[in-house]
Chains A and B, each alone.
Chain A
Amino acid sequence: MTTQENLRAADYETIIPVSRANTKVFKTGQWSQKKPTHHPKLSPCREACPVGNNIPGALAHVSKGDYNAALALILQENPLPGICGRVCYHPCQTSCNRNQFDETVEIRSLERAIADYGCATPQICSSPTDNKTTIAVIGSGPAGLSAAYFLALFGHRVTIFESRAEPGGVLRYGIPEYRLPGEVLNREIGRILALGIDLEKGVRIDSERLDDLQDRFEYIFLGTGAWLPQKTGLSSENRETIQYGLDFLSHEKKEIFCQGKKNIVVIGGGDVAVDVARTARRLCGPGTVITMIAPEKEGDFPAIPEGLAEAEDERIRIIGEYQPIEFIGNSHLEKVRFVRTKVEKDRVTGRYTLLPGDGNDLLVDADLVLIAIGQLPDTGLFLPEIVDKDFSKVFVNDLGMTPSSRFYAGGDLTRKRPAVADAILSGKRAALSIHLKANGYDPEIIIPALTLGQGSSLSISAYIEAGLIDLKKVVQFAELNTLLYRKTGAEHGTKSPPETRRTDFSEVNGGLERKAAIDEAKRCFYCGSCIGCDLCFLLCPDISIAKEGDRIYRVDKDYCKGCSICATVCPRHVIEMEESQ
Chain B
Amino acid sequence: MRDLLSGNYAIAEAVRMAKAQLIPAYPITPQTPIYERLSEMESQGTLPGVMVRVESEHSAMAMCIAASLAGVRVFTATSSQGLALMHEMLHFASGNRVPVVMGCVNRVLAVPWSFGSDQTDTLSQRDTGWMQFYCEDNQEAFDTVIQAYRISEATMLPSMVIIDAFFNSHFIEPMDVPDQRLIDLFLPQATLPERFDLNDPAFISNVVTSGAQFLPFRERAFTDMEKAKEIIREVDIEYRAQFGRGYGMVETVQTKDAQLVLVTSGSMTSTARMAIEALRDKGLKVGLLKIKAFRPFPSREVEDALQNIPKVAVIDRNISIGKEGIFCQELKSALYNSTARPRIYGYIAGLDGLDVSPEIIENICLEVLGKEMPDNLPIWVKGN
Contacts and interface: CB of A to CB of B under 8 A. Distances in A.
A5 to B, nearest CB: 8
Interface in A1-45: 1, 3-4, 7-8, 12, 14-20, 22-23, 26
Given A4-B234, A12-B97, A16-B96, A23 B227 contact: no
B189 to A, nearest CB: 14
A256 B204 CA distance: 93
B97 A3 contact: no
A19 B220 contact: no
Interface in B143-178: 150, 154-156
A23 B234 CA distance: 42
Interface string A361-378: 000000000000000000
Nearest to A14: B220
Contact of B95 (A1, A16, A20): A16
B217 A8 contact: no
A16 B224 contact: no
Interface in B167-207: 191, 193, 195, 200-207
The DSSP consensus for interface residues of chain A is mixed
Nearest to A15: B97
Contacts, number: 61
Interface residues of A, number: 16
Given A3-B227, A7-B227, A19 B156 contact: no
Interface in B199-252: 200-208, 213, 217, 220-221, 224, 227, 230-231, 234-235, 238
Contacts of B217: 15-17
B154 A4 contact: yes
Could you say which interface size class chain B belongs to?
20 to 34
A17 B201 contact: no
Given A1-B234, A7-B154, A15-B156, A20 B224 contact: no
A22 B203 contact: yes
Contacts of B203: 18-20, 22-23
A16 to B, nearest CB: 5
B200 A7 contact: no
Contacts of B224: 7, 15
B206 A17 contact: yes
A18 B98 CA distance: 13
Contacts of A4: 150, 154, 231, 234-235
A16 B202 contact: no
B193 A19 contact: no
Given A3-B231, A14-B220, A16-B217, A23 B97 contact: no
Contacts of A17: 95, 204-206, 208, 213, 217
A18 B204 CA distance: 5
Given A8-B191, A20-B203, 14 more contacts: A3-B234, A4-B150, A4-B235, A7-B224, A7-B231, A8-B154, A14-B220, A15-B224, A16-B204, A17-B206, A17-B208, A18-B206, A19-B206, A20-B202
22 contacts: A3-B154, A3-B227, A3-B230, A4-B154, A4-B231, A4-B234, A4-B235, A7-B154, A7-B231, A12-B156, A15-B97, A16-B96, A16-B217, A17-B95, A17-B208, A17-B213, A18-B203, A18-B204, A23-B203, A23-B206, A23-B207, A26-B207
Interface of B: 95-97, 150, 154-156, 191, 193, 195, 200-208, 213, 217, 220-221, 224, 227, 230-231, 234-235, 238
What 9 A-B pairs are tightest by C-beta distance, nearest first? A19-B206, A4-B154, A19-B203, A12-B193, A16-B97, A20-B202, A3-B230, A18-B202, A15-B97
